[in-house]
Amino acid sequence: MVTYLNVVPDDDLVFKALADPTRRFLLDLLFARDGRTLTELESELEMTRFGVMKHLRVLEEAGLVVSRRSGREKLHFLNPVPIRQIHDRWIDKYTAHHALTLIDLKSELEDK
């Protein structure tokens, strides 16, 4: 089992990590199947092993990926918590008003 650090993520690091399409693709790969090795992740991209390692380092610094050694392999796991915190902090509060407005409109139209 992977344990996630109870560290409050730095929003700037998370946004920086999510800004790059290669890093988002790596997160999508880990979402599809967690616990991948560097070799597995590298095989999905047209870039050097070193390039993939640099992207994984940025994702780890942002708390979006955690890694764990299993024998000789280093497995990488998605940590969805920082993305959820970004959602709750920056997206949810701005969409809540619109959702309530639509619910009110629906109720008003059904009453007529």
pLDDT tens column, 38-70: 999 999 999 999 999 999 999 999 999 999 999
Task: Considering only residues 106 and 77, tell me which one the structure prediction assigns the higher pLDDT.
Answer: 77
What pTM did the predictor assign? 0.76
89 pLDDT exceeds 90?
no
Of 41, 109, 25, give the one whose Cα is nearest residue 75.
Answer: 41
User: How confident is the model at residue 6, as a pLDDT?
Assistant: 46
111 pLDDT exceeds 80?
yes
Q: Are 40 and 82 contacting, i.e. CB atoms less than 8 angstroms apart?
A: no
Q: H-helix or E-strand containing 68?
A: strand 65-70
84 pLDDT exceeds 80?
yes
Burial, 74: exposed, middle or buried (Cβ in 10 Å; 0-12, 13-18, 19+)?
middle
